[in-house]
Amino acid sequence: MRHVLSALVQNVPGVLAHVAGMFASRGYNIDSLAVGETEDPNLSRMTFVVVGDDAVLDQVRKQLEKIVTVVRVDDISAKQFVERDLMLIKVNCNGRRSEIRELCQIFRGRVVDVSPDQVVVEISGQEKKIEAFIDLMRPFGIVELVRTGRIAMVRSVQPTDESSSITSITQEAVTRD
């Protein structure tokens, strides 16, 4: 089973190495990892994707919580959450630049760099969307590809008044991406 963990950590040197070392020393594999500063410059958020049963997840959480620089660990897998990946992909044009541009529009990506023979495309979204775009780019010839780790955030609590219809419309628009 796939679990998404969000860890709030102190923004100090060595935290990433310490956390990654804990995973490695216990034989846990990290499918995806993203780290970035939060709204508080003293804290960073680490988002992990770990595959395993509930026992593995429980052990990972317990081990993370033992690390002094880890402030809080949440398993957001069971909650309603939004997740995104970001990818830059460089592909050969071979005179088919307009085709690539059309596919970018369909996937809500954008061309961020152009040369006579290649284009670089930026695309963000759920993992399935990124994978589908990669598959469509293969026939053009992928020159280079780089992806971020997954980032995720728990959705806001649903209101129970009339504004809930506005919220549901907004969420539908967000989940389409």
153 vs 54, higher pLDDT: 153
Q: Kindly state the average pLDDT of the residues 32-57.
A: 92
Hey, is 25 helix, strand or coil?
A: helix
Residue 86, token pair as written in the block? 């970001």
Instruction: Report the predicted TM-score, pTM, of the whole model to 2 decimal places.
Output: 0.77
pLDDT beyond 60 at 56: yes
Q: What is the mean pLDDT of residues 117-128?
A: 96
Computed over every residue of the chain, the mean pLDDT equals: 89
**Residue 85 · residue 150 · CB < 8 Å:** yes
pLDDT value at residue 163: 52
In whole angstroms, what is the distance from residue 21 CA to residue 37 CA? 20
pLDDT value, residue 125: 96
* Domains in the chain: ranges and CATH: 2-78 (3.30.70.260), 83-151 (3.30.70.1150)
pLDDT per position as a tens digit, 141-163:
999 999 998 999 999 876 655 55
Give every CB contact of residue 31 below 8 A, 6+ residues apart in sequence. 2, 49, 50, 51
